[in-house]
Chain A
Amino acid sequence: DAGVTQSPTHLIKTRGQQVTLRCSPKSGHDTVSWYQQALGQGPQFIFQYYEEEERQRGNFPDRFSGHQFPNYSSELNVNALLLGDSALYLCASSFPGQSSYNSPLHFGNGTRLTVT
């Protein structure tokens, strides 16, 4: 039973470029969340997708956008990259329609993005 898988594992981009990160949720999960983890910090919530719609968003600018596909996989897009966007981007999935009150998040290994 595959867990949450993310690709690529590492990425190097230049300021101003655009990047797309991908996530496949754990089998049976239909809700996907994205978190940004800067070096030495805890993860910060970017947004969550359920039924192909953004259900909630954290304090991130519109440069951060996402998408969820019918097979529940998801993409995180970041436009006009800044040096400060360098971080580990974590994807997490959970059971159908449930909140954290019933189902803990399952995280992937993340994508390490470096912006130069």
Chain B
Amino acid sequence: AQKVTQAQTEISVVEKEDVTLDCVYETRDTTYYLFWYKQPPSGELVFLIRRNSFDEQNEISGRYSWNFQKSTSSFNFTITASQVVDSAVYFCALSDWGGATNKLIFGTGTLLAVQP
């Protein structure tokens, strides 16, 4: 069955520390996409990144970087030099091969608190 596990329920760091959010997934599909979304207190899910199963290159966007390792079914997210504005719940998600649909399977999320 499709499943996403985010074992870290809460992480607290002090500003400027680096932090890594873990994501482990299970899927039967050979073609799939993985996502990270950020959910601030306002409730809106903000798209951060999409990675397909054939592209294992790490990606960096400013202070954000992602490490996709198919061998361990992991797609971890690192924030470098964290800031208070990074405080939010972060969700990892897996696309469900439903043909033409956009169904996503979400993990339970990691609450990141960045203290000043």
Q: What is the interface of chain A, defined by CB distance below 8 A to chain B?
A: 31, 33, 40-45, 48, 50, 55-56, 58, 88, 90, 92, 94, 97-101, 103-110, 112
Contacts and interface: CB of A to CB of B under 8 A. Distances in A.
Contacts, number: 80
Given A43-B104, A99-B102, 8 more contacts: A44-B106, A45-B103, A48-B103, A56-B103, A58-B103, A90-B43, A99-B95, A105-B45
A93 to B, nearest CB: 9
B100 A104 contact: no
Contacts of B33: 100-101
A105 B44 contact: no
Interface string B75-116: 000000000000000010101101111111111110000000
Contact of A56 (B44, B93, B95, B101): B101
B57 interface: no
Is the interface on chain B under 10, 10 to 19, 20 to 34, or 35 or more residues? 20 to 34
Contact of A33 (B52, B103, B105): B103
Given A99-B99, A99-B101, A104 B106 contact: no
Nearest to B109: A42
25 contacts: A33-B103, A40-B109, A41-B109, A42-B109, A44-B106, A45-B96, A45-B104, A56-B98, A56-B101, A58-B103, A92-B45, A94-B102, A98-B102, A99-B101, A100-B101, A100-B103, A100-B104, A101-B33, A101-B52, A104-B47, A105-B102, A107-B37, A107-B45, A109-B42, A109-B44
